[in-house]
A and B are shown apart, each in its own frame.
Chain A
Amino acid sequence: MPFDKDAYRDGYLRPKGKLKLTTLQDDLFDRYAITLPAKDADVAATVNAVRSFWSSQQRGTPLQKYAAMCQAADEELRQQKVAAGPHRGKDMLTAGWWEAKRDEADTAAQNRISELAAILKDSNGAYGVVTRSYLATCAERLALAPAQAEAAAKTVGLEVVDDVDIPDGPPVGRFAALEQDLSVGQVTTVPTLIHPRCAPFRIASRFESPSVPSARLDIAGVRTQELEANRQPNTATWNARRSALNMLRSAAEGGADLHQVALYHLVKSVTGSGVPGTAGIRAALLSRGVEERDANILAVVLADRAATSSGSGVARAEQLLQEGRLREAVSIAQSIPQEGGSDQVKQLLAKIGSAKAQLEVLLAEADALLAVPDEIGSAAKLREAASISAEDAAERMALVPLSPVRELRADVGGGSVRLHWQPNVGHDSDTGYIVVRSAEAPPKTPANGTPLPAPAGTSATDAHAPVARTVHYGVFATTAGRPSSRPVTVDTISLPPVADVRIETGADWVNAHWSAHPDVHHVEATHNDGATATAVPVQLAGAKITGLPEGESVHIELVAVYQGTDGRALRSAPVTITGIPRAAAKPLENLRAQPIAGPSGVQVRLTWTAIDRSEVRLKRNVSASRWISGQLVTAEDMAGWGTDITGQTDVQPGRTVLDASLPPGVHHVVPFSIGGTGIITGRPVSVGVTEPVTGLSATLFQSVARLSWTWPGTSNLAEVGWQRDDAGEDAVGLVKLSRAEYDAKGITVPLGPEPCEISVRALIFVAGRTFASPPVTVTVDRIAATRVDYKVSSSPGIGPIGGRTKRVTVTASGRTGPLKIALIAAPGTFLPATPDAGVTIHEENLTLDAGQFHTFSAKIPPAISKPYWVRCFLISGDAQLHDPLLTTLKEG
């Protein structure tokens, strides 16, 4: 029984994984790929292999999730051992455990089969058949396989039959008329109409007549019987039969299945007869000529259906009322026998009457509101009515126009008119709009004017609006099945200004050009210098002004003039264009860029000296430009390259300064000079911008400060500088360190007798140059300048006797000020950390020169016995007091 991983994955784990089950099924043998009989070794190998395979599934996959469920269940199964019998005490790695499991499963299944057999005998024993679907439902509830359920049916002598496909509704039109004709024609079934001597017949799965084997429910059969009927006298009975046959022939020619028609009619006739119960249905079927076996099948099927159907005619009518289907409810109510009707029927009729009255009121209110006109109110009433009778409401709604649009406005610009509006209540995604233009009068219907192209959404553009006259626009809302809305109108006069305005410049002149609407009468050009306005002669869509000073802005105002229908001049809105007379530009070669600390972070200061009167524009990009200095470029080239640099500009004599806020990173800056003959590039510069470090802090140690900070994302290099106002060799320093060095070793700064100011700058390399961020600084306290050491020696002693006089020798690395040193003694085994941790046995005031020795002695008080420590502390003065070897301070 070797374990086949592929087969297990494809045959078990993958299908189970796809089911996304939340609990495991009763499939123990499949789950562990166990087939019996097997040997213990095989079982153990297979179970272990399966467990290993579960563990090997890739995390997060459906297979792994299902395998995890298996593993969880496996933990419990591992604990299970066979409780009794020949395999007692066996665990799941043995064949005996699995044989016991198989026996358990078999026994449980057998009990459930017996239980099902008893149920089936009670429910279906009298009819000898059971439907497959009913059996499947029972099997599922009792956790039996279909084969086991069929075995149960067989033990009680039941035949398992397929379900009968009975139409839910009339399979042909005019079924009620057919029903009526059959009734008047005194024929109980469709088969006996077509084949009068076919009873008993089979009808459940297909039509068959043992007595008339050739009988078929088809067009030929109907035609044959029609010929026979046509030969019969003109009586009401035969007329009805002929009519029924005629209807059946038409239906069959139209593709209807006459077996389905016959089955539906038969079922409707027996279930509508008022005969309750399966036995009653069976008897009714037999009485209509249905063969006994099919009568049993149909009775059982109909009983199953009845068990699951929602209820009787009254209940159905009630449900239809609640669903707003008044007409159908009335129809059903009318089919319920009312003689001596029950209370339920009376209540139903009362409800129907009330609903009808309420419907009438709502429809009348809707009509009244429509007359106002208030389409929104009318539609609201009809929606209310729809909750009673959707059909009535829908019929009436088809007469109510949509509500008109809201907030229509017209924007006149260029040569076009743009219309905007808002949808009103009741407008939805199916609502469309029609926009109509009329030069005569406001449109009242969509036919009163020229329709514009279908609008997109709630706006429309009239690109060909007539100019210099009043134009009326009307907007109508439309939808399928309802009249279009009333119009909403707006009037406009279009006076398009000149377009495509551009200006040429020379050293002392400007020349404005434009294009104008074809209907324009003429264009007026005015030179406006702020104080006076002077008319400029216009020639061939151009207006030129000469004799201007170089470098000063010139403003020209252009107005299109139209002639109205009454001959009056109508003037468009003015268009102003500005130009600066300029000579040819020279390339800017002296641009400089440098990061500076701005008021709100890092900025870049760009400085240059103007070399002519051309306009200088600076642009930046992350990549270098392809242009060399002095190259002519088009306006499109300039516009398409990089981003404009803007900022506060300070124009000083001979020098222009622009402080700009640029994002961190590398920037290539190109100066463009815009002159009278075109745009020329200058010498590009590069600049790196990096944010400063943040969170700079210094942790103070004995003689150094260890720095830490947070690096900005744009920099992996920093410059650390420090400065102290003392004469020490290490009083000033500057080091660069990379981020890797910072991570590996960190950085410390030496401390000295004066406060130390430390600054850190983040650095960034661009094109061989280093750019630094603004510095971040921190100031660290001074430490004492002079180091003072001391030694402690004891007077000779033997064991506990003697040695209680301590001689202290103090020396200094440099000249000190006045110092006060205390010698303390602390009983116990712990080094005293502070003077108050022991007893002060001596205080010495002293001043030392470099290399000078100073000695004093003190006796240990008798109260202090070994073990004890002695230690000196600096009580006052400016020095660093260093302990000697600690073993010399300890006694005992």
Chain B
Amino acid sequence: MAKSVSACPFCFSRVDTSRLAYQCSGRGTVKTKCEQKEDPMREKHTGSRAPSYPTFMPTEPVGVIACPECGGPAKRRACPVCHTAVPDAFVDNDNPMLGIVGSKGSGKTVLMTVLTKQLRENIGKRFGAAVRFATDNPDGFEGVGQYTKEREDNMFLDGKLPMGTLQNSQERRRPVVLMWQAESQNRFGVRRLKSTALTFIDSAGEDFNKLEDAYALEYLAACDGLTVALDPFELPGARASVTLAAGATGRSAGANPLHVIERITEILRIEHQVKRNRKIKVPLAVVFTKIDAFFPTLSRDNPVMAESASKFAYDNLDGQTVHEHMRTLLHQWGAEEIDLHMRLNYDTYRFFGVSALGAEPIYDEDRVSPGGVRPHRVEDPILWLLAKEGAVKTA
């Protein structure tokens, strides 16, 4: 079987998906049965101390695999490095990893929460893709149910904004891993299932500002495509063009978007060993969040204001148009350096303007607008990256 190397969405190690480890099912034999316990390898590589059944590499990689400890069947597959169980779709597949990072105060947690819900409930259906959680503890919550309750219900039903991500170097953040699974057709018309891991880490932006978090470095290095969320309110020109409510600014602690981009570029250059006279190959979606605040300054025919196309494919023409208009906005905001930096350092990049909430929240009360969450174009960046990976068609 051909070797398929993918990044583990949990520890970001590059692993051969045709040579994954096995995990005991816990069913055991008549005589004995394995118990779940903390796995030192999982703790070492992911920081998770969630108990799990023994994980091992098979001595005979064919036939029925038996657990060496209890003799019971072992069918579940796991990362051979971090011993975390992986979804079935991950096995024997290329699994490009798309990530999302952002600066502090860029609304990354909100964007991630809204995007995760949109992908599962709306976007996946539009593209005929099954989108589901691929981990039992998304974003460090104890189970998908708790994540849904604490993150999504709190925001969508109760209107509460999530608290800002705290920087904590001692506690490793857990990713939200979604598996996008859809049929694709190759040039010879052969259809096959393709899965793509969407790994979002709600990483405090300071980590990228300081370049000191090894986990963040590993994460950035492992991504096959990257979304970078930036706070336009941190651009003086943008800030001056609108009247912002109390509490809207100052949340980014002065995280200049250009500096954040420069840090990420530096990391990618080092981790991917890109020479100075070459451009980075990793596609980068540069996302300016909170774009709803700028609607009053835009003409109604500006494509940034238009609703997302509801086609069954990524609308590349629309994306290109938005890109050019976002470039123009950067120019108007006096932030052309960002465009220049992207042009000089990246082969493939695109600008996006999105709003996860759709309307200005009540910052003082940490609540969404009374009208609820009305996402605007949040899926565009990830669809563009998926299109780049061939996971969705391009129109």
Contact = CB atoms under 8 A, between A and B. Distances in A.
Contact of A745 (B122, B295, B324): B122
Contacts of B301: 702, 880-882
Contact of A701 (B122, B305, B324): B305
A743 B373 CA distance: 7
Interface stretch (A87-95, A691-699, A729-737, A860-868): A691-699
A139 to B, nearest CB: 41
B290 to A, nearest CB: 14
Interface string B47-60: 00000000000000
A701 B336 contact: no
Q: Size class of A's contact patch?
A: 20 to 34
Interface string B322-362: 00110111011000100100000000000000000011000
Contacts of A886: 320-321, 324
A706 interface: yes
Contacts of B148: none
B121 A885 contact: no
A746 interface: yes
Contact of B307 (A694, A704, A742, A883): A704
B317 A708 contact: no
Contact of A700 (B292, B300, B331, B369): B300
A759 interface: no
B371 interface: yes
B156 interface: yes
A833 B122 contact: no
Contacts of A694: 370
A783 interface: yes
Contacts of B339: 829
A641 interface: no
Interface string A851-891: 00000000000000000000000000000111101110000
A701 B300 contact: yes
B373 A783 contact: no
Nearest to A710: B370
Contacts of B369: 708
Given A708-B358, A708-B369, A744-B121, A833 B374 contact: no
A114 interface: no
A880 B299 CA distance: 12
Nearest to A832: B328
B371 A709 contact: yes
Contacts of A29: none
Q: Size class of B's contact patch?
A: 20 to 34
B242 interface: no
Contacts of A710: 370-372
Interface in A514-544: none
Interface in B360-395: 369-374
B156 A743 contact: yes
Interface in A710-728: 710-711
A52 to B, nearest CB: 9
Kindly name the residue among B292, B300, B359 whose own CB sees the greatest number of chain A CB atoms within 10 A. B300
Contact of A833 (B121, B321, B332, B372): B332
Contacts of A830: 327-328, 331, 336
B306 interface: yes
Contacts of A697: 371
Contacts of A645: none
Contacts of B321: 883, 886
Contacts of B331: 830
Contacts of A881: 301
Contacts of B300: 700-702, 783
B158 to A, nearest CB: 12
A701 B292 CA distance: 11
A548 interface: no
Contacts of B156: 743
A176 B339 CA distance: 106
A742 B359 contact: no
A831 interface: yes
Contacts of A832: 328
Nearest to A837: B328
A707 to B, nearest CB: 8
Contacts of B292: 699
B230 to A, nearest CB: 18
Interface string A727-769: 0000000000000001111101000000000000000000000
A831 B121 CA distance: 36
Contacts of B303: 702
A694 B306 CA distance: 25
Contacts of A706: 307, 358, 374
A831 B325 contact: yes
B372 A742 contact: yes
A699 B305 CA distance: 10
Contact of A748 (B295, B307, B336, B371): B307
Nearest to A699: B295
Given A702-B301, A783-B300, A831 B327 contact: yes
Contacts of A702: 300-301, 303, 305-306
Kindly name the residue among B305, B370, B371 whose own CB sees the greatest number of chain A CB atoms within 10 A. B371
Nearest to B359: A708
B328 A831 contact: yes
Kindly name the residue among A695, A709, A831, A832 whose own CB sees the greatest number of chain B CB atoms within 10 A. A831
Contacts of B299: 833
Nearest to A704: B307
Contacts of A699: 292, 295, 358-359, 374
B296 to A, nearest CB: 10
A706 B357 CA distance: 13
Contacts of B325: 831, 833
Contact of B328 (A695, A701, A833): A833
B79 to A, nearest CB: 25
Contacts of B122: 744-745
Interface in B148-169: 156
Given A701-B305, A702-B306, A830-B328, A708 B372 contact: yes
Contacts of B306: 701-702
Contacts of A885: 317
A708 B324 contact: no
B374 A746 contact: yes
Contacts of B295: 699
Nearest to B295: A699
A881 B302 CA distance: 11
Nearest to B38: A52
B94 to A, nearest CB: 32
Interface string B111-125: 000000000011000
A430 B75 CA distance: 82
A880 B307 CA distance: 17
B361 to A, nearest CB: 13
A731 B374 CA distance: 24
A831 B301 CA distance: 14
Contacts of B324: 831, 886
A767 B183 CA distance: 46
Contacts of A708: 358-359, 369, 371-372, 374
Kindly name the residue among B156, B306, B328 whose own CB sees the greatest number of chain A CB atoms within 10 A. B328
> Closest 8 CB pairs between A and B?
A708-B371, A830-B331, A710-B370, A831-B328, A831-B324, A695-B370, A833-B328, A702-B306
29 contacts: A699-B292, A699-B295, A699-B359, A701-B305, A702-B301, A702-B303, A702-B306, A708-B358, A708-B369, A709-B370, A709-B371, A710-B370, A743-B372, A744-B121, A746-B374, A748-B307, A783-B300, A830-B327, A830-B331, A831-B324, A833-B299, A833-B328, A833-B329, A833-B332, A880-B301, A881-B301, A882-B301, A883-B321, A887-B320
Interface of B: 121-122, 156, 292, 295, 299-301, 303, 305-307, 317, 320-321, 324-325, 327-329, 331-332, 336, 339, 358-359, 369-374
